[in-house]
Copies of this chain bind each other. A is one copy, B any other.
Amino acid sequence: MPFELHSQLAADTRHVTSLALCEVLLMNDARFPWCILVPRLPALRDFDEVPAPRKSEFVSEVDRVSAALRTLTGAYKMNVAALGNMVEQLHVHVIARQRDDDAWPGPVWGVGKALPYDDAAADALIDGLRQTLS
């Protein structure tokens, strides 16, 4: 079975870029600068299931997105997580946190309702991510 992006991830995000291994997506929630990485490999659920030959590439892409998002947003702290209790396809959350954001110091999941970006704000962040990651 080839890789196919889970429909819920597609519905909740905008596409940023395709790295060598992972799709990079932007969660459509302007409250938190929040990327999601999805390795284009079939049938992965858990973080430890990425095959050994692709592991360092996988982690390196997570780190690159984390550093890019930190730089672009001036984040106080980066949160990195692979949960997948609701959407089981392996995906890694990379979230830029500020001490005055709507969920601080708790985690962002399940807090209030997503606030969709307006197009200009989403485009600006996506452009910044593409440039920083390229």
Q: Which residues of A contact B (CB under 8 A)?
A: 45-48, 55-56, 59, 62-63, 66-67, 70, 77-86, 88, 97, 104-107, 109-110
Contact = CB atoms under 8 A, between A and B. Distances in A.
B110 A109 contact: no
Nearest to A105: B85
Contact of A55 (B45, B56, B81, B84): B56
For the complex of A and B, the 5 pairs showing the least CB-CB separation, nearest first, are A81-B81, A48-B63, A85-B105, A47-B80, A48-B66
Nearest to A95: B83
A86 B105 contact: yes
A88 B78 contact: no
Contacts of A80: 46-48, 81-82
